[in-house]
Structure 1
Amino acid sequence: MQNVLGRTAAAKRQAARRAAKLAAKEARETRVIQRNQHRNNEKLRYEDIRKARKTRREDWELGPLAPKRDVGDFKHTYGTVSQLRLQDSFAHLTKKPIKESDSWLYVGDRVVLLEGRDKGKIGTIDEINFEEQWLTVNGLNMADIPIPKWIKDTEGHPEHTVPRPLAIPLTGVRLVCKINDPATNQPRDVIVERVRWQSELNVKTGKREKHRIIPYINHIIPKPAESTPEEQDTPSDTLRILAEEKTFVPTLLRPPMPEQVIDELRGKYSKFRDRHDEDFIAKKKAEDEAKSPKNLKVTMRTPAQDLSKRDKQLKKEARMKRYVPFEEILAAVGAHMAKKQGVVQSIGEQNKESVVPPPPSTSQAPEARP
């Protein structure tokens, strides 16, 4: 049975190592893809900047003779940016990516932009992507994106362009909240430089909740309210009264499903199985007991090993000679106890003989002497 458990443990360790290697490989491949994607987006952005500079220079030098560029294929899409710039990634630019559990930003928070053409403007977060480390702000960092022809043909879109917010790295924004000004006692927007997490007990729910707090002033930044969209019931939806109805109640007399099904779900012949039936365990124990005498094999010994073994045996015998055998010690102790008990009994008998019995007591008065 120990062999079976050992094989199971080894298989689990091997599977864990294989999964860790696969996860590390996928992480490296993901970072390479993100790096290449960001490099391509930067090339597109710099190309648009170079074209804009060249166009501005030509318009300034040629004046009224400057060519008209919003014609032909660019009649309705001149000045737009490529759709590839919408798919950007900033995860490879940070050594310690911000995790969702440790993030101090939520959808609906008011933030200020620290970079881009809308630098210094305040907006509301629409979307956050922690995997690629970017977010979008409502109405800020917007760009016109051309609509492909196949979308216009299938959906019948009348417009040729659509405004879309470009991705902003998570490190390119700062949180904004309202704090009362001590001079005017009126709320004003303040850019938060540092945020600290603090856990407090909610009296209503009895659970501990985490709050964002501005250090040194202990001002709590409330979490924005989550808007839940209204869901419409369709004919394919199951009614709640039908979903909560108990159609099967298992009893204690039989399992909720046949035992064969349990074995199939558990993976009866899986190498990762560590819970076995009692019959299988008894069978394996019997096999181990049957094989145990066969494993006791006499191995070859060198002359040096035989000499060492004989020296140890002689030392052990010499050491045992210095000690009195245990049986003799018990016999001596028993004889001493018996002798001591006999002496005590003889002393007791002598004491009984030396004691003089008292005279008999009578109730009559003594006779007078003549």
Structure 2
Amino acid sequence: MQKVVQRRIAAEHQALRRAAKQKSKVDNAKEWNARWQAMSRGKQEGIYFKAEKHRRREEYEVGPQLAPRRDTGHLKETYGTVDPNVIQVPKLHWTQYKNFKSDFAVGDRVLVIKGKDAGKVGNVSEVSAESGFLRIIELRKADFHVPEYVRKENKDNRSILQQSMPVPWDHVRLVFPLRDQTTGHFEDVVLDKVDLRNAGWVERRSGLREYNKGQRFLPGVKTPLPWPKTDQAEKAEGYDDDTLRISVDETTHRPYLLQPPMPPSVIGELRNKYSIFRSRHEPEYIAKKEDQDRAAKHRENLASLVSTPLAELKEQRRQERLANPVELSEEQLARIGEVMAQEKQNAINKLSQQ
């Protein structure tokens, strides 16, 4: 029976190693895909900026009368629009965003300091802690072309839609009302830095990851910066045909230790009778394996009973040596001490010569 248990344990360990290896392989593929998508998005933005810079330079050199008309041909409907992939918030891998800490929340007022709409203040409509981007209401908007199959699916005939572009956290600053010490009135202050405490990603034992926004303060002081109030979830409305709470909490099934929850044949089908990972067996199978173990042990005992005179003599001498260990004499101990002292002196002489 011990061999059956060891075989099951070895199979479980092997399955765990195989699963860990497969998980690592899949995770590496996801990380590579996320990095490739982020790089592609950056390249696409670079292509837009480079092309627009070239067009502006050309129109400036030739003047408005000779400037080419670009909204023709296949660009008649899509000229001036951006790729929908650029509008979408990039999806990063866990290794890329595990150290992200957001100073912003939905409802905050922020100041744009870079790019389009720089110097304008708007309200945050979306914050993505997994990517390091946010969206601002009525700011950083861009037009994108909607393909025909998407229009048919959404039942919307508009070919051009407008949506706010994702803005990196580094391109905005938090605007918060603080009390002026001299006047006593609240004034909007642009905060270059916010002190976050107890914020960051938390990985649960179940494998799920949650973001804890923690608390934010002014750097160097204990002045808290409260988070915007969120809309509370509406309470569910009750109806006459709803199940009562007393009926939900009522115990309708009482399992017993002496009675199986289902027929034994069904249990055997569910747990796979011949599975190598099986840990519970029928009493008949256990008794059979124990009989085999006793028979094997009996055969080993029989083999030990049969011995030759030479083997018996060797065993007798071994027992005598164990019972009467050899003790060293005074002369032998003195000789060992002399050898150790001589070796020590030789080592010291070699070190002094070096």
Instruction: With the length of structure 1 as denominator, give the TM-score of the two structures.
Output: 0.63
Question: Is the contact between residue 81 and residue 145 of structure 2 (CA under 8 Å) also seen in structure 1?
Answer: yes
Establish whether residue 193 from structure 1 lines up as the match of residue 194 from structure 2.
yes
Shift of 1:27: 2.0
Q: Deviations over 1:272-299 (max 9, x none)?
A: 333455555444333322322335666x
Question: Is the contact between residue 107 and residue 128 of structure 1 (CA under 8 Å) also seen in structure 2?
Answer: no
Secondary structure of 1:123's counterpart equals strand
Seen in structure 2, the aligned counterparts of structure 1 residues 313 and 216 have a Cα distance that, compared at 3 Å, is same
Match runs of 1:305-324 below 5 Å: 312-318=318-324
Secondary structure of 2:11's counterpart equals helix
Question: Is the contact between residue 58 and residue 66 of structure 1 (CA under 8 Å) also seen in structure 2?
Answer: yes
Secondary structure of 1:57's counterpart equals helix
Where does residue 254 of structure 2 map in the other structure? 250
Q: Which runs of 5+ in 2 are unaligned?
A: 200-211, 305-310, 326-354
Question: Is the contact between residue 35 and residue 89 of structure 1 (CA under 8 Å) also seen in structure 2?
Answer: no
Where does residue 284 of structure 1 map in the other structure? 289
Find the aligned partners of 2:312 and 2:182 in 1 and give their Cα distance.
Answer: 97
Find the aligned partners of 1:19 and 1:173 in 2 and give their Cα distance.
Answer: 43
Secondary structure of 2:143's counterpart equals strand
Secondary structure of 1:195's counterpart equals strand
Q: Deviations over 1:107-164 (max 9, x none)?
A: 555555565434564531414262x554444434332111112233454424321122
Q: Which runs of 5+ in 1 are unaligned?
A: 199-208, 299-304, 320-370
Shift of 1:231: 9.9
Secondary structure of 1:185's counterpart equals coil
Seen in structure 2, the aligned counterparts of structure 1 residues 307 and 147 have a Cα distance that, compared at 3 Å, is farther
Shift of 1:81: 0.4
2:221 maps to a residue whose letter is I
Seen in structure 2, the aligned counterparts of structure 1 residues 32 and 275 have a Cα distance that, compared at 3 Å, is same
1:139 maps to a residue whose letter is E
Find the aligned partners of 2:267 and 2:163 in 1 and give their Cα distance.
Answer: 53
Seen in structure 2, the aligned counterparts of structure 1 residues 194 and 150 have a Cα distance that, compared at 3 Å, is same
Where does residue 53 of structure 1 map in the other structure? 53
Q: Which moved more, 1:306-315 or 1:52-61?
A: 306-315
Q: Which moved more, 1:83-92 or 1:10-19?
A: 83-92
Where does residue 341 of structure 1 map in the other structure? none
Question: Is the contact between residue 109 and residue 174 of structure 2 (CA under 8 Å) also seen in structure 1?
Answer: yes
Find the aligned partners of 1:134 and 1:291 in 2 and give their Cα distance.
Answer: 69
Pairwise CA RMSD: 4.2
Q: Deviations over 1:51-110 (max 9, x none)?
A: 212221222122212122223443343211012223463737x9652368x766655555
Find the aligned partners of 1:170 and 1:22 in 2 and give their Cα distance.
Answer: 35
Find the aligned partners of 1:48 and 1:33 in 2 and give their Cα distance.
Answer: 23
Instruction: With the length of structure 2 as denominator, give the TM-score of the two structures.
Output: 0.65
Secondary structure of 1:20's counterpart equals helix
Where does residue 151 of structure 1 map in the other structure? 150
Q: Deviations over 1:284-333 (max 9, x none)?
A: 333322322335666xxxxxx999866542333446xxxxxxxxxxxxxx
Seen in structure 2, the aligned counterparts of structure 1 residues 76 and 47 have a Cα distance that, compared at 3 Å, is same
2:159 maps to a residue whose letter is H
Q: Deviations over 1:239-269 (max 9, x none)?
A: 4449838694336474544344444444544
Seen in structure 2, the aligned counterparts of structure 1 residues 165 and 181 have a Cα distance that, compared at 3 Å, is same
Match runs of 1:229-308 below 5 Å: 239-241=242-244, 244=248, 248-250=252-254, 252=256, 254-276=259-281, 280-295=285-300
Find the aligned partners of 2:156 and 2:112 in 1 and give their Cα distance.
Answer: 32
Seen in structure 2, the aligned counterparts of structure 1 residues 119 and 260 have a Cα distance that, compared at 3 Å, is farther
Find the aligned partners of 1:245 and 1:147 in 2 and give their Cα distance.
Answer: 51
Where does residue 81 of structure 1 map in the other structure? 82
Seen in structure 2, the aligned counterparts of structure 1 residues 79 and 263 have a Cα distance that, compared at 3 Å, is same
Shift of 1:222: 4.0
Where does residue 5 of structure 2 map in the other structure? 5
Seen in structure 2, the aligned counterparts of structure 1 residues 273 and 69 have a Cα distance that, compared at 3 Å, is same
Question: Is the contact between residue 11 and residue 276 of structure 2 (CA under 8 Å) also seen in structure 1?
Answer: yes
Seen in structure 2, the aligned counterparts of structure 1 residues 180 and 312 have a Cα distance that, compared at 3 Å, is farther
